[in-house]
Amino acid sequence: YYETRPRDDAVPRKIHRLWGWSFYRCPLRHLGGNQLVRSDGQGFTTDVILTAIPEWSPSEIAVRFQIQQGIHTLHIFPAFPHSIDRPGHIDMWMSILSDDCVMIGRYDCPSAMYEASVITENAAAYMTGLGFRVFRTPGWNDGQDGYDGTHFSYTNCILVNGKVMVPQYGDPYGKEDAE
């Protein structure tokens, strides 16, 4: 999905050759961690999608999601700045746990204008308005003033058999791990 990483599609191409299956390169280029979906056809992404396919307008992107993935309503949120989270993926600060439940990062920072905090507070209110139960979990960037360090998140998780598997960071983040 990154044009600078052509080997990312090596496995589908190999299966195509080995098993004789059709190979289709979807024109909707986007990053896997930047798409969350609900079973009713709603999709959630960040505006990184707009830079991934700059030749398409937001409405053209929404139409492609509908045609190729059955997503009838595409919600586009602002991405975190690169100095907080380099890829700008939505799964680094939000995760759909079920059709009516979402987990969103909580970014406590001394500045009321800290972008991660503003984006996630607005997203929590928006998702509540859509009828979701919103659970908050800590998220942070360990750089000075929350910038240019490592972005830690519990929303980049996996759901398996009704369980949510979240990362654990250990010392010195034991308090955050417990939340």
pLDDT in tens, 47-66: 999 988 889 999 999 999 99
Quick: pLDDT tens for 80-120: 999 999 999 999 999 999 999 999 999 987 677 899 999 99
Positions of E strands within the chain: 36-37, 42-46, 73-77, 94-98, 101-106, 133-141, 151-153, 158-160, 163-165
Q: How confident is the model at residue 134 (pLDDT cuts 50, 70, 90)?
A: very high
* Cβ-proximal residues to 142 (8 Å cutoff; 6+ apart), any chain: 149, 150, 152
Question: What is the pTM for the complete model shown?
Answer: 0.87
Buried b (16+ CB within 10 A) or exposed e, 65-100: beeeeebeebbbbebbeeebbebbbbbbbbbbeeee
What pLDDT score does 26 carry?
76
Written as one letter, the residue type at 140 is W
What pLDDT score does 9 carry?
74
